[in-house]
Amino acid sequence: MLEFFRRHRGAFLTTLTIIIILSFSVWGGWKSGRGEQMASSSDPAFNMYGKEYSVAKMQRLERYQQVAGMLQMYDLFALSSAAQEPETKGRDFVFNLVVLQHQMDKLGIHPSDAEAKAELEKQPGFQEEGKFSPQRAYNLQQMLGMYGMNAADMLDVAKISIGFKRIQELIGKNYVPSPIETEKAYASRNQTLKIQTINFALDDFKKTAQVKDEEIKKYYDENKETYKTTEKRALSYVLFENPKDEVKPEPKDAAKDAAKKDAAAEEKKLAEDRQKKMKEQVDRVNKFNDASILPGAKFDDIVKNLKEKAETIPLFTNDAAPASIKDEADLLKAVFAQDKDTRPISDPVKGTKGYYIFTVTNIEKSQQQDLAAVKDKVKDVLAGQKAQEAMSKAVNEARTALQEGLKAGKKIDDLAKEKKLTLSAVKELTISEPPTDLPNAFQIAREAEKTAAGEITKAVDTDTGAQLVYVSARELRKRDDSVALRKNTEDRNASQERNRLFNAWFTGRRQEAALHVQVKMDDKS
């Protein structure tokens, strides 16, 4: 498989560059059978409703998701989660799209071109200053045309969106949220809680944790493999940078009308220039690659002959990469996976700045560390474990004692003094709007919402340890915006339940479609 890509790297990279830069996903299909062979566009990809779909058809259906993204029709993205199966590797949008189109035909939902155009004109991507912009629509259509799509594809996606919404309405329209459930949800989310907190700091328990030498040795012996120096690598690389986007100067007010007339031509010219620069970039990558696979090829000689610029990086570890490449995750992964003996010069690696080709110039292998070198680290690990155990025990004992004391009619302040616990001052908290100045406010709100007045919450994990929260009172106060909040609560609950009903219905329809995948699917990145 690797040799296939290396022999056809030129054509492969040219296609891949254009696809990746525009974030268009590609069907990673492989024929099943003896060995692995890349599937062609005419090969069968999957079967649904007894109908076979080719790889080419699969790719076209998948591009609809990208078109929806470019049109900013994000509501349609919910189709990806309407029904899901792990083995489809995140490509449920396509299979669900087939189900949706089948159901649209079955239910007689066939949006007209006029309806689709009206739907498109409402999309944010076509709007300018709150109104439909023909110029933006034209520019987007031109952009789609550069990548093999046209106005008909936009209309198709709009019709899919309309059909999706209509079927959602059909399935969920009869659901009406219960007024009692709405009021309960409103009260739960909008009550004002008076709370007091008791903090437990992990560092305090670390200070008293006792770790014996025999415990250190035992732990080291059992976990010796984890105590090794980190492998380091040095490299030289060439970065084939992505073309820079040109920034057009903002026209002055007097020239704005004239500038708008020339906008389409300017956009087209910029797109053509960018395509030209992209091709130049790929040509450079291909030339370097072609030279790198020749017998006896040497990295420095190729750099010199092709007049490229190489950068060198001294020994570094994977988790402490230099600033120039620390954000290039794929490059770092490739560097530390490279076998410099069997493949001295790497294949191209796509990074955030462009393509990288590198050679590993030196390797300092990982070595076993003896106990003396890591004794302090082991001691710290054991102290942390003992501190965590001691803190958990203290939190549980405190919570039990406080709950029993409260049930016996004692006051929280007296109980805290009795147990030598530090109780904070009273703070107010609304579940739906936790105060930003209260540490761990969202975690506290989540536990406090489930806790009755006069009781103690379960332990809340914090950055420094743990926390118990005493809920002293719950008050549903009068608010000027209570009518709007109740309506929002009703709408949210209704929407959630209707989505649940629709997804349950759609999952059943997906199962009826009898999906059978005929090619091996790679994970979708």
Model confidence at 30: pLDDT above 50: no
pLDDT digits (tens, 9 = 90+) for 376-400: 999 999 999 999 999 999 999 999 9
Question: Rounded distance, CA 189 to CA 184, Å?
Answer: 9
Give 254-293 pLDDT, tens digit per residue. 555 555 556 667 777 877 888 888 899 999 999 999 999 9
pLDDT value of position 112: 94
Helices 263-292, 9-21: crossing angle, 10 deg rounding: 140
CA atoms within 13 A on the CB side of 174: 4
Which position has the token pair 């329809």? 509
Does residue 33 carry a pLDDT above 50?
no
CB atoms closer than 10 angstroms to residue 431: 19
Q: Note whether 58 and 44 are within 8 A (CB).
A: no
Measured between alpha carbons, how far is 430 from 188 in angstroms, rounded to an integer? 9
Residue 478 has pLDDT above 50, yes or no: yes
Mean pLDDT of the chain, nearest integer: 85
Q: Looking at per-residue confidence, does 139 or 523 come out higher?
A: 139
Measured at the CA of 332, the angle between CA 9 and CA 309, to 5 degrees, comes to 65
> Which residues is 349 bridged to in the sheet?
356
Please give the DSSP secondary-structure letter assigned to residue 446.
Answer: H
Task: Give every CB contact of residue 313 below 8 A, 6+ residues apart in sequence.
Answer: 234, 235, 236, 237, 322, 324, 325
- No. of H helices and E strands in the chain? 18, 17
Q: Is the pLDDT of residue 8 over 50?
A: no
Whether residue 31 has pLDDT greater than 70: no
Amino acid in the structure at residue 456? I
Q: Specify which residues 429 forms β-bridges with.
A: 193
Better-scored residue on pLDDT, 107 or 188: 107
Tell me what pLDDT residue 14 has: 39
Give dist(CA 493, CA 487) in Å, integer. Answer: 10
Cα distance between the two ends of the chain: 19
- Separation of alpha carbons 326 and 395, rounded Å: 41
CA-closest candidate to residue 198, choices 21, 460, 448:
460
Residues 200-224 have pLDDT tens digits of 999 999 999 999 999 999 999 999 9
The order of strands in the sheet holding 29-31 is: 37-38, 29-31, 519-521
SS (H, E, C) 15-28: HHHHHHHCCCCCCC
In the block, tokens 């409402």 appear at: 122
The pLDDT assigned to 228 comes to 92
Going by pLDDT thresholds of 50, 70 and 90, the confidence category of residue 49 is very high
**Interior angle at CA 7, CA 21 and CA 348, nearest 5:** 40
Listed range (50-59, 65-74, 325-334, 456-465) with the worst mean pLDDT = 65-74
Q: Which residues contact 86 (CB under 8 A, 6 or more apart)?
A: none
pLDDT at 261 (0 to 100):
58
The residues that bridge with 244 in the sheet, in sequence order, are none
At residue 367, the pLDDT reads 93
For the segment 513-520, the average pLDDT, to the nearest whole number, is 85
pLDDT at 143 over 50: yes
The pLDDT score that the predictor gives to residue 257 is 57
Contact 229, 367 (CB under 8 A): yes
pLDDT tens for each residue of 430-465: 888 888 888 888 899 889 888 999 999 999 999 999
Round the CA-based radius of gyration of the chain to a whole number and report it: 31
Domains and their CATH numbers in the chain: 2-174+502-521 (no CATH), 192-218+371-475 (no CATH), 229-364 (3.10.50)
- At a CB cut-off of 8 Å and minimum separation 6, what does 275 contact? 146
158-172, 417-431, 480-494: lowest mean pLDDT where? 480-494
pLDDT tens profile 362-381 = 999 999 999 999 999 999 99
User: Residue 331 pLDDT more than 60?
Assistant: yes
Residue 253's pLDDT band (cuts 50, 70, 90): low
pLDDT at 251: 56
Q: What is the pLDDT of residue 333?
A: 95
Beta strands in 242-353 (DSSP E): 310-317, 349-350
pLDDT at 358 over 60: yes
Cα–Cα–Cα angle for 493, 497, 502, rounded to 5 degrees: 150
